[in-house]
Amino acid sequence: MTTTTTHPALAPARLGVHDLRNRLAVAPMTRTSATPEGVPTPEMADYYGEFAEGGFGLIVTEGTYPDTEYSQGYLNQPGLATDAHVAGWRAVTERVHAAGAVLIAQLMHAGALSQGNAHRTGTVGPSAVQPRGEMMPEYGGSGPWPVPAELTAADLERIVEGFAAAAVRARDAGFDGVEIHAANGYLLDQFLTEYTNRRTDAYGGSPANRVRLAAEVTGAVRAAVGSEFVVGVRLSQTKVNDFEYRWPGGRREAETIYTALADARADYLHIASEGRAFLETALLDGGCTTTGLARSTTGLPVIANGGMHDPDQAEQVLADGHADLLAVGRGALANPDLPRRLADGTPLEPFDRALLSPRVTLENARRRRAAR
């Protein structure tokens, strides 16, 4: 094991026009702690500020809904759809920047996996296919997912416009960039997935067609915000409601997806792992990893996710060229100062599942820490 003072995750990096003080990022994690209207709270500023003060170079926010139609996925999820949302986020960006970190807003349209929307009733998706599994109680849901309404061509135009408008609001709120959420079973990933996308138009069928909407969103966001505002895309094979799914076309399908998003002028790709043992679960046919293939196919910086709080795994992922940056989720919740601990050799605190149970809110986590 490499000594902590020389760990490669502590080396500086660059993302778009931004210099990062290290290669450690906070992964996006839904916390459902905004106001009922989706406005970020002072408690959220404290939450994100603590990661910046703890030494993380990059922070990606929780999924943030971009419009007041069908994008919201959870009650008390933050938005970037109104002026009030912008004002609320501005306090967060100022707090994070004061502590020296770069902050990216993740833009998320829940699609068929919405289980709480203050603006609309019903859900939408690429096809009228009921999602697998059941809603997640820790996020306030219960029972089977409803069957979504199939999106029309006009609906898709509005969705693309909504992402672009939200990216402009993110820039106005002081963010350094946005990450387009095309992973984990949400709308853009529903288009990427064979069994949820049964369309016969230009957005269904082949992998090149199924990635079309994600590429159009990426291109529209880039056109709206210009070249210096960071635009990334998060991808995964698995979903919050289906841990077993893999791209049926394997390596070739992955290359098609990665290339389309790079051609749409994404600045980076963030590939979520299928589990915490990254090197065992991210393998594609031919022995390459999802992240390593993204790097070699596009030449873009790639963020890896999945158990990256483990120093040995983190070192191997960077040293073997699987990724450029490492996103840490639950390890960061337990250790908001993880980069400082890695630097001085302080042992990490184990993750306490009670921080996310029975609800994933900041209030629940605060009560748990007080009880301890």
By annotation, the residues acting in catalysis are 186
For 287, residues 6+ apart whose C-beta sits below 8 A from its C-beta are none
CA distances from 260 to 193, 257, 302, 358 (A): 16, 5, 15, 40
Burial class (CB in 10 A: 0-12, 13-18, 19+), 9: buried
Task: Record the tokens describing residue 174, joined without a space.
Answer: 């002081």
The helices-and-strands tally (H runs, E runs) of the chain is: 13, 12
Q: Which helix (H) or strand (E) holds 251?
A: helix 250-263
**Phi, psi for 33 (deg, rounded to 5):** -125, 15
Q: Where are the beta strands (DSSP E) in the chain?
A: 13-15, 18-20, 24-26, 58-64, 102-107, 124-125, 149-150, 177-184, 230-239, 268-271, 302-305, 325-328
Cis peptide leading into residue 36 (ω within 30°): no
Distance CA 235, CA 242 (A): 14
Q: Coil, strand or helix: which one is 328?
A: strand
How is residue 79 annotated by DSSP?
Answer: B
Task: Record the tokens describing residue 176, joined without a space.
Answer: 């350094």
For 238, residues 6+ apart whose C-beta sits below 8 A from its C-beta are 184, 185, 244, 245, 246, 272, 274
Q: Look up residue 98 and give its amino acid.
A: A
